[in-house]
Amino acid sequence: MKMTDNTILITGGGSGIGRALAEEFHKLGNQVIVAGRDEKKLDETTGSNPGMKSFTVDMANFESIKTFAAAVAAQFPQLDTVIHNAGVMIPEDLLSEKDNQSAVETVVNTNLLGPMRLTGELLPVLRKQTQATIMTVSSGLAFVPLAMTPTYCATKAAIHSYTESLRFKLCDTKFQVIELIPPYVATHLMGEHQANDPNAMPLDEFINETMEILTTQPAATEILVERVLQLRLATENGREKYDEFFKQRNAG
CATH number of the domain where residue 169 is located: 3.40.50.720
Q: What percent of the chain has pLDDT over 90?
A: 95
Domain that holds residue 99: 7-251
- Statement: residue 252 has pLDDT above 90: no
- pTM higher than 0.95: yes
**Does residue 1 sit within a domain?**
no
Alpha-carbon distance of 6 to 79, in angstroms, equals 7
Average of pLDDT values for 168-196?
A: 96
Alpha-carbon distance of 21 to 16, in angstroms, equals 9
**Does residue 55 sit within a domain?**
yes
**Does residue 2 sit within a domain?**
no
pLDDT score for 80: 98
Structural domain count, the chain: 1
Where do the H-state alpha helices sit in the chain? 16-27, 39-47, 62-75, 101-108, 114-126, 150-169, 192-195, 203-216, 229-232, 239-251
Positions annotated as catalytic residues are 152
Longest CA–CA separation in the chain, Å: 53
Residue pLDDT, tens place only, 85-108: 999 999 999 888 787 888 999 999
Task: Supply the mean pLDDT for the chain.
Answer: 97
The residues that bridge with 84 in the sheet, in sequence order, are 136
- Statement: residue 38 has pLDDT above 90: yes
**Does residue 168 sit within a domain?**
yes
Provide φ and ψ at 146, rounded to 5°: -105, 115
Contact status, residue 81 vs residue 33, Cβ threshold 8 Å: no
pLDDT score for 8: 98
